[in-house]
Structure 1
């Protein structure tokens, strides 16, 4: 199970675990295997191999989905990638909750997808997770940040180093921190 543990019971604010032992073992096993064999075959020759490794740990990946060797996937079984979507070099996919990429969606180099946050009102600092959806044809540009619960609409763009903490409507272009709409996107 990938649901966060009760922070008041585990004392996660003071170093206790936020997730079950099984979850932590699964993540550690994947991290070791990814480090030892996910990096071995460089792009473009390793697309199939990395898809295989991710699927072995429960990821749902469509035909032609691409994950670069330097990408960091926190929990593969919380990753869904439709055909021809891609996760670029150095992307941090902190998928404590499900992260789904639609067909042809692109997450560019060193972007950060973060599906977890802590409740600042809770004295125990409870971890709260919410899924992220990047719809078909959307583009999260270099070093952008997408926060918990955010949907990037179909064919939308979050510009380089943009910070999306709320949904981005389809076929729009957003930039800045916090991200604000700067244009409409004309998709051919």
Structure 2
């Protein structure tokens, strides 16, 4: 992400900022707008939430659903296809792109995290990698998807599992780190 500052110049341990002032101001406006206009809304007000996310740069299909209690860090990095869902309490730490395919379910309190730090760098330099969740996949309750992970088409990441590498299509994973446990039957869904 181009807005990440060099930790050697702006050392976060000495109070330096990690992101540019412009980026921080946009995120501040976003947080205020979500809090006032969307976070408290009932599930039936999905259209308002989608409108607000689009206003801040998200690319969201009109049939996608985002619950009011979901936390989206930076909407301009979020893409959601038809009938995709970010459930209650989902944390979408979108420092980098988060691409969610059609009919994807990201269940309650799951965590999509695109940022991490270089532990070898003396100032703990932040870096990011995108997350891609392909069509018909399911990220179950309280699961964690780390930076750079691609969740294959139809894959399932079980409740509280943690994915740090690519998940193969039509495969069920569980554990920390996530390990494949069985195949999932393939199917197709129409996208209207």
* TM-based fold match above 0.5: yes
Aligned pairs for 1:9-158 (under 5 A) are 9-43=9-43, 45-158=44-157
Gaps (5+ residues) in structure 1?
A: none
Quote the offset at 1:166 in angstroms.
Answer: 0.3
Moved over 4 A (4+): none
Gaps (5+ residues) in structure 2?
A: 188-192
Alpha-carbon separation, structure 1, partners of 2:105 and 2:9: 39
Matching residue of 2:161? 162
Mean alpha-carbon deviation: is it higher for 32-41 or for 161-170?
32-41
Q: 1:2·1:19 contact (CA, 8 Å) conserved in 2? A: no
Q: 2:40·2:69 contact (CA, 8 Å) conserved in 1? A: no
Q: Deviations over 1:28-81 (max 9, x none)?
A: 1111110111034300x2111000000000000012111000000000000000
Alpha-carbon separation, structure 2, partners of 1:72 and 1:2: 22
Alpha-carbon separation, structure 1, partners of 2:97 and 2:157: 20
Alpha-carbon separation, structure 2, partners of 1:176 and 1:56: 37
Quote the offset at 1:12 in angstroms.
Answer: 1.6
